[in-house]
Homo-oligomer: A and B are copies of this chain.
């Protein structure tokens, strides 16, 4: 519904190349496919710069499979299924395979996994994904697997929590040269503030639900990251490695 195609369409009507009825039909024909239970968005890539990802929870394996196949059949870019169960990935792999799209890549993200098909061509962009602890790795994996599907090759720095500051300080140069940094931390989420103070790059913080004591399933880290004393740190939802990857994809050229 952008001005250029609107003008083209209107000119076609003006020239008789298109009847008024056809014009109305075209103007109302929207770039999605209605599967009944889902409206598959074929132009998200154009509009948002990234393909539609299928969010697994609450969908039946059959619904996952049908949406993924629809996206594979119609488009050309990467297709993602996130937070998927084993039943969902199995059904999807079978359906995709049956249509000649292969059975996809699966990355385990703890209790669920990320499945991807048809990764994008390699893109430049120095991305660092850094975690406070080993327990944050499942969220980091969701983030790096989505970044990988989008064509990026992020560097993963695991277990750099601030209680052992030297583990982080040794990576200062890596952080200073990054074009984008994703900080993944649970507990008190202090790593976001410290990293935010060490790099001029955009920093996307992901609170995780990891933690001892009073971390309240990630709420503590979430609030801490939102209150960071390092200016310009931004935050996505708890355990949302997928969202952080998308945020990075938006800000890199």
Binding site for B on A (CB under 8 A): 1-3, 6-7, 10-11, 13-14, 16, 19-20, 23-24, 27-28, 30-32, 36-39, 41, 43-44, 47-50, 52-53, 55, 57-59, 63, 67, 83, 110, 132-138, 158-167, 169-170, 172-173, 176, 180, 187-190, 192-194, 196-204, 210-216, 219-240, 242-243, 245-251
Contact = CB atoms under 8 A, between A and B. Distances in A.
A159 B226 contact: no
B231 A50 contact: yes
Contacts of A192: 188
Contacts of A11: 20
A221 B3 CA distance: 32
A247 B225 contact: no
B162 A194 contact: yes
Contact of A220 (B49, B165, B197, B227): B227
A212 B240 contact: yes
A232 B247 contact: yes
Contacts of A224: 188-190, 220-221, 223-224
Contacts of A41: 164, 167
A163 B230 contact: yes
B158 A37 contact: yes
